[in-house]
Amino acid sequence: MLDRVYLTLYRFFSFLLRHLPFQITHRFMRVLAWFAYSVSHKHQKIISQNLDIAYRDSLSKEEKKSIGIAAFMNLIDTVFGIMRRDGMCKEEVLKNVTFEGSETIGRYQKEGKNFILVTGHYGNWELLSQAIAIKFDLNLVGVGRKLDSEIMDEVLKKNREQFNVEMVYKKGAMKGCIKAINQGKVVGILTDQAIRQNQSIDVTFFGNKATHTPLASVLSRKFGLDLVPAYISTEDYKHYKVTIYPPLVLHKTENQEEELAILTQLQSDMTEKVIRSNPKQWFWMHRRWKGFYPVDKTA
């Protein structure tokens, strides 16, 4: 019953978002972001604690509030974007998306080489994967969590697949990624969330110890594939810029543990660099330093 309610709401908002003028949608998003931040005291505390850890208590209360509201704005934009693009043609998806660093991926394609895409929960990350898949005519396989709602998980699956983006779930992600690479597909991995410490290669992130998924590093070493960082950003939630950075290259030696540690730290450094360029674009609601840094238990 609840699944049907979710589906009805999804279809209703999809219709509205495709037909309402941008100015009205944008205003609604801003109000919704402010409201979500204001009523969620739990996430207010998490955001504030994360910003204090990252910026050493240097931000004012108002600065942290502004970044927190913007974080909700990006999340809403990501969710609304999924609904808006449902059934949209590929050309329309790219209409307001520009690319910087396209030559990096173009070079791999020209040489007939595969690579692994690494990114994070920055900007409209769902649009990022779809835009890259369309722009470069790639079969892109992402790693994500299955939704609790079976119906909505299927809806999201179809939404992504219409733009050449497939998903493998976190449980069994390694096996799914290996299969995708063997099929010549490009694997895309979000690398910026905390994971269990016994599954992690620990890194330094904003000067503090944090867990980090080893998946991209392990796949890079196993298949000899470079990691290509790519992130998406926006200033007005209408026009988007995809920035593709120079590849992170594994230099293979006999010391596997050291290689993986270096390559994983490079991913963390890249994510930090991007976030510092505009902290309002990142998903600050996640406990990134969980397990290493004391947190307010009431948050």
pLDDT at 208: 95
Task: Give the pLDDT confidence of 213-223 residue by residue, as tens digits.
Answer: 999 999 999 99
Residues making up the chain, counted from first to last: 299
What is the C-alpha separation between 18 and 27, in angstroms, rounded? Answer: 15
Ranges of H-type helices in the chain = 2-19, 22-39, 41-55, 61-84, 90-93, 102-110, 125-135, 150-161, 173-182, 215-223, 256-277
Task: Give the pLDDT confidence of 67-87 residue by residue, as tens digits.
Answer: 999 999 999 999 999 999 998
What is the C-alpha separation between 19 and 5, in angstroms, rounded? Answer: 22
Query: For 9-23, 76-90, 186-200, which range has the lowest pLDDT when averaged over its residues?
Result: 9-23
pTM: 0.94
pLDDT at 250: 86
* Residues sharing a CB contact under 8 Å with residue 270, sequence separation 6 or more, in sequence order: 118, 229, 245, 248
Which of 91, 24, 52, 60 shows the shortest CA–CA distance to 237? Answer: 24
Look at residue 1 and tell me whether its pLDDT is greater than 80.
no
113-122: average pLDDT: 98
190-215: average pLDDT: 95
Task: Give the pLDDT confidence of 240-251 residue by residue, as tens digits.
Answer: 999 999 999 988
Question: How many other β-carbons are positioned within 10 Å of the β-carbon of residue 194?
Answer: 18
Output the average pLDDT for the chain.
93
The encoded tokens of residue 82 equal 């999924």
259-267: average pLDDT: 97
Look at residue 298 and tell me whether its pLDDT is greater than 70.
no
pLDDT at 115: 98
Question: Between 59 and 171, whose confidence is greater?
Answer: 59
167-172: Cβ within 8 A, 24+ apart: 167/141, 167/142, 167/143, 168/141, 168/142, 168/143, 168/144, 169/143, 169/144, 169/145, 170/143, 170/144, 170/145
Q: Residue 210 pairs with which residues in a beta bridge? A: 203
253-257: average pLDDT: 88
47 to 177, 179, 212, 291: CA distances (angstroms)? 32, 37, 19, 16
Identify whether the C-beta of residue 189 lies closer than 8 Å to the C-beta of residue 230.
no
The encoded tokens of residue 87 equal 């059934």
pLDDT at 3: 77
Look at residue 297 and tell me whether its pLDDT is greater than 60.
no
